[in-house]
Amino acid sequence: MEIIKKGAQPNYSKKVIEIADYIYKHPEIKISNKISVFCSKFQKTERTIWDYVAKAKEFNKTRIQKQENAKNDVMTSEAVEAFKNGLLSRYDCLLELSKIAKGDERKVQGNVIIPTDGDRIRAIQQLSKMQGWETEKIDVTTKGDAINTAIKVTIVEKKV
């Protein structure tokens, strides 16, 4: 937010910032009650002070927006970190899948759970995908050419 106008006096921005600080610190007080105070302090007309107030309000909007953005950035980074801490790592996933694939029993809320054969097979399939054990499919019949090639038919007429 640029407050200083080209060709403006150097004190212009100081005056606007002073008014902005007053508005920011005392939001409960109407600025119209303090216009005469600023007029005598800065030795400016009421209209000029109202121009300063307008610029000061713009300055405060930018100030508040920057504070909100900074607060949101901090909250966002904390939320992302908490989210990451709650996630299983790749190693944790592989470890849990390995336990299921081996058929290891586990206790959940006092109950003993033993993986079924279907659970074990699905765990092995998932491990296979995660570890890259699946083989790459190779087409040995067409040598990489498209299977759906166009068939060309030539018709030859015989004259009798």
pTM, 2 dp: 0.40
Alpha helices in the chain (DSSP H): 10-25, 35-42, 46-86, 90-102, 117-131
Alpha carbon distance, N-terminus to C-terminus of the chain: 95
% the chain with pLDDT above 90: 9
* Cα distances (angstroms) measured from residue 139 to each of 144, 146, 148: 6, 10, 14
pLDDT band at 101; cut points 50, 70, 90: very high
Q: What is the pLDDT of residue 138?
A: 61
Using the structure block, give the residue that is written with the tokens 């279907």: 118
CB 16 within 8 A of CB 5: no
Q: What is the pLDDT of residue 49?
A: 86
Digit-coded pLDDT (tens) for 10-29: 677 888 888 888 888 888 88
CB 13 within 8 A of CB 4: yes
As a dihedral over the C-alpha atoms of residue 4, residue 6, residue 7, residue 11, rounded to 10 degrees, the angle is 0
Digit-coded pLDDT (tens) for 59-100: 889 888 888 888 877 777 777 777 777 777 888 888 989 999
- Dig out the tokens for 91 from the structure: 């190693």
CA angle 93, 79, 69 (to 5 degrees): 150
Using the structure block, give the residue that is written with the tokens 């970190």: 81
- Dig out the tokens for 86 from the structure: 């709650």
- Quote the CA–CA distance of 2 and 59 in Å, as a whole number: 8
